[in-house]
Amino acid sequence: MATPIGHALGGFIVYAAGQKRFFDIKLLTATVVFAVLPDIDFLFGFVVGKPNLYHHGFTHSFVFVICIGVAGAWLLTLKNRKQFRLYTLMFIGAGVSHLTFDLMTVDGTAPFGAPVLWPFTNKYFIFPVRIFMDVHRAADSARFFISLFNPHNLKTVVREILMLAPVFFFILLLNKRFQTRGK
């Protein structure tokens, strides 16, 4: 799996691609949350003392991403439905970025990949080419968080930033250029 930093950058990229106004903190925050949200399955494992136990389960499926994206957009646009379609597309896009990044990540633990087509199949999928490094972490709750801070994971985060931050800034630049042309 990519790190939370990599997934958050995926949310930033989706935000930059979908937002016409330069800065909307509510939408940016929500989009980043939806980009990281499939990893909520770690919480299920923490309940039983094994954070990795349910990781890459149903929360890493298109059905989950679509349902939660629509529900989130509905909740955030209760007062003004004008933005419902935009929010829905951005939240689903952010969730899909999460799934895509995980499918392109080195996975050293079986089952390899993610069940992106759940509930239609329980098969796990992974891309043949992996551009993101894996994350080293402990299997028990007591050591889980402290285990994340190691040289390998630092290298993983730096690599994600070097790959994804330029994409974010390039999209911002394109948006600014197209907005300037439209005036």
pLDDT at 183 over 60: no
Q: Kindly state whether residue 41 falls inside one of the protein's structural domains.
A: yes
Domain enclosing residue 124, as ranges = 4-172
The total number of structural domains in the chain stands at 1
The pLDDT value recorded for residue 1 is 79
Q: Kindly state whether residue 179 falls inside one of the protein's structural domains.
A: no
Q: Kindly state whether residue 128 falls inside one of the protein's structural domains.
A: yes
Report the distance separating Cα 48 and Cα 67, nearest Å.
26
Tens-place pLDDT, residues 108-155: 888 999 999 999 999 999 999 999 999 999 999 999 999 999 999 999
Q: Kindly state whether residue 178 falls inside one of the protein's structural domains.
A: no
Q: Give residues with Cβ within 8 angstroms of 51, minimum separation 6.
A: 42, 45, 137, 139, 140, 141, 144
Task: Report the predicted TM-score, pTM, of the whole model to 2 decimal places.
Answer: 0.93
Q: Kindly state whether residue 182 falls inside one of the protein's structural domains.
A: no
Report the distance separating Cα 46 and Cα 55, nearest Å.
11
Q: Kindly state whether residue 181 falls inside one of the protein's structural domains.
A: no
